[in-house]
Homo-oligomer: A and B are copies of this chain.
Amino acid sequence: MKKFMNDPADAVTDYLVGLAAAHPTTVTFDAERRIVVRTTRARAGKVGLVAGGGSGCEPLHTGFVGHGMLDAACPGEIFTSPVPKQIVAATLAADSGAGVLHVIKNFSGEVMNFGMATELLAFEGIAVDSVLVTDDVSIPQMPGTAGRRGLGATVLVEKIAGAAAERGDDLASVTAIARRVTDRARTFGVGLSSCTPPLRGKPIYDLPDGEIEFGIGISGEPGRERVAMRDAHQIADAMVSEVVTDLQPSPGAQLLVLVNGMGATPLSELYLLYGECDRLLRARGLEPVRSLVGNFVTSLDQAGAALTILELDDALTVLWDAPVRTASITWGAEA
């Protein structure tokens, strides 16, 4: 294992210290409560947005705290949900009187701990609502299972609901917008390697030469199936097929297309993959009109990529385009 790291047990804390040091006017790390909050508190009366999850998926969520996205994030240990106490602290920090929306990825621990936090918050007099992100099409929708994981769509929910909150929408409206995004977004991921958690010191599993994983998540677990390595064109074809078949967008739909790297895949490969997906989508009569290409929801040092597609409408597009200023996603009004 070769990582820029000190004591492996401190890898998450050391990252959070560095993040806050790099962006002091954007985020502050509250080491005692283990939460990352906006340095400049949002104006009174803005709906608060809180998300949290296992660390190792950076920049999710800590890199998305700031103007136009999250008010607070609570990072757990590597690939482990934050504890309820952190979620409560983040919610209290995010509240400015108009209630707080929890963005929850559908992983059992995260769902359970956000649920416990919400029970604790019932005594605080804060209106709390939640949205459950379930965009992973690699898992069939079946009763009696934990169901689909929340993956790349989480970034889109946080950006779009964050813009709605910044605009002044009330809690019910921000929640409705967030749910609209999850309803209209799907993801399929492909792994070219395993990943190495700091305390483990070696890859989670072996992946032989010539084999890759289809249907991966964001916690270093193996995918749905192991298949033979193939061209980017063929991988993109599988990704587009999986996502579009499940999403069933309207003919001619306008799409936001996210090609998300898992952490160790260079940007040039992600753009190459974007080009393939764009072409395949257009061949199906669909129209990519917004894109996001880079490492946004990762699994430590895994090589791989995931395709997320969101079917846009005018309301969602306006919110996507709204200015945002976080450590890892930032843009202004059109230059």
Contacts and interface: CB of A to CB of B under 8 A. Distances in A.
A58 B271 contact: yes
Interface string A229-271: 1011101000000000000000000000101000111111111
B323 A267 contact: no
Nearest to A11: B272
Interface in A297-312: 298, 300-301, 303, 305
A274 B58 contact: no
A99 interface: no
Nearest to A191: B2
Which residue, of A19, A270, A275, A291, has the highest number of chain B Cβ atoms within 10 A?
A275
Interface string A210-242: 001000000000000000010111010000000
A205 interface: no
B298 A267 contact: yes
A123 B130 CA distance: 65
A330 interface: yes
Contact of A22 (B6, B231, B268, B278): B278
Given A263-B266, A291-B23, A4 B58 contact: no
A331 B332 contact: yes
A116 B192 CA distance: 42
A18 B280 CA distance: 12
A31 interface: no
Which residue, of A272, A279, A294, has the highest number of chain B Cβ atoms within 10 A?
A272
Interface residues of A, number: 70
A101 to B, nearest CB: 20
A2 B229 CA distance: 7
A14 interface: yes
B15 A300 contact: no
Nearest to A278: B21
A27 B299 CA distance: 30
A303 B264 contact: yes
Contact of A232 (B14, B67, B257, B328): B14
B272 A15 contact: yes
Contact of A55 (B229, B268, B303): B268
A112 to B, nearest CB: 25
B301 A265 contact: yes
A279 to B, nearest CB: 7
29 contacts: A2-B229, A3-B269, A4-B192, A4-B269, A4-B305, A6-B231, A14-B275, A15-B272, A19-B274, A19-B275, A21-B275, A21-B279, A22-B257, A22-B278, A58-B266, A59-B267, A67-B335, A263-B266, A264-B265, A264-B301, A265-B301, A266-B301, A267-B298, A267-B328, A268-B300, A294-B328, A325-B334, A332-B332, A332-B333
Interface of A: 2-6, 11, 14-15, 17-19, 21-23, 55-56, 58-59, 63, 66-68, 192-193, 209, 212, 229, 231-233, 235, 257, 259, 263-276, 278-279, 288, 291, 293-295, 298, 300-301, 303, 305, 323-325, 327-328, 330-335
